[in-house]
Amino acid sequence: MSTDSAIRTVALEEAFLHSRVWDLFPAALQQKYQPVRARLSDVGPERIRQMDAAGIDVQVLSHVQPGVQVLADDQAELSVSVCREVNDWLAEVVAAQPSRFAGFAMLPTQSPAHAADELERAVHRLGFKGALINGHTNGRYLDDASFDVLLERAESLGVPIYIHPTDPPPVVSDTYYAPFDSALVPTWGWPVETGTHLLRLICAGVFDRHPDLKIIVGHMGELLPFCFTRLNAGLTMAGWLSAAGSEHPLMRNNVGYYLRNNVFITSSGVFDVPVFDCARAMLGLDNLMFSVDYPFQDNFAAMEFLQQCDLSPEDKERFAHRTAEKLLNLDDDERDPGRRAAVGDTWYRLISRAKSKVGRALISALVK
């Protein structure tokens, strides 16, 4: 076995890079991704070998941010074309390794109607499990009325939308983060941006109009669990007071209701047990799912975190794979029981784990 435990793991925020989208990225972004470009581009035996070494059973693949959201609104036709090409390619990747990979669709959100159609095509024809959208699209968030057609389609298809962090609109970055934006945006700006995006959906009554819509966010809830009590009291009351006298209040329930009924969060990139304990206490274990954030985060660190979580065997199974399998309608029976012994040889696993530990120890020492 490749890990100390035979527990099955499904990871939901695992990135890849397609050459067609790479060519659309500005030079500065290409330079940023260059150190991990090889790992992002690999969706073949080497990625699976690394999964096996750490004990990751399934990766749900999605294109690295900002994906097709890098395009302007007047490039909607190009966005549609690129999404179809990338989704068709990803479907072939998944078909080659159906027990190891699943897919989240890339959507041309510059045109919400086309995005809805592409989501339906990706789910019905390609077998994808939902979609991942990289935050706002040129300053428009999913609470914008134009996206109702997309949200309604996701609800009717019964698939979730994963909201992934991206850079805030330039006016926000220039005001809040410059001249330190290169450091502050990915570490602080992204979780604030994504948490705010989700709160906008609640404030706009999106989940009242689409009560069965499911949204996923990563990084242990993008700061929201830590602010849960304040948000549930203050934001709920503010929403109700602002709608006083209205026949159609924007927010019919409290904030906690929507977070627990419509929102799922993953552990992607956050492997701290006290942080996990906070998220579990505020939202409940049924809303939490395991993830890594590969290749930006370490598979071994994620698996060590999973082992350290104070959960019963049954609850650990829920967190590690059962909730994800139910939400994404993954085929729990399609497994390859011999794959770890065949692919992840012991020597490679030991060397990989040692490199992981040394690298994390070095970083820890440097920042003390």
- Options 52, 143, 167, 293, the catalytic residue: 293
Amino acid identity for residue 178 in this structure: A
Please indicate whether residue 293 is annotated as part of the active site.
Answer: yes
Q: What's the N-to-C CA distance of the chain in angstroms?
A: 35
Tell me how far apart the 2 most distant CA atoms of the chain are, in Å.
69
Phi/psi at 26 (5° precision): -65, 160
| Cα(48)–Cα(211) distance, integer angstroms | 37
DSSP per-residue codes, 252-274: -S-HHHHHHHTEEEE-TT---HH
Backbone angles phi, psi at 163, to 5 degrees: -95, 110
Cα 1 to Cα 57: distance, rounded to the nearest angstrom: 12
The per-residue b/e assignment along 188-205, b for 16 or more CB within 10 angstroms, e otherwise, is: ebbbbbbbbbbbebbbbb
Query: Is residue 195 helix, strand or coil?
Result: helix
Give the residue numbers marked as catalytic: 293
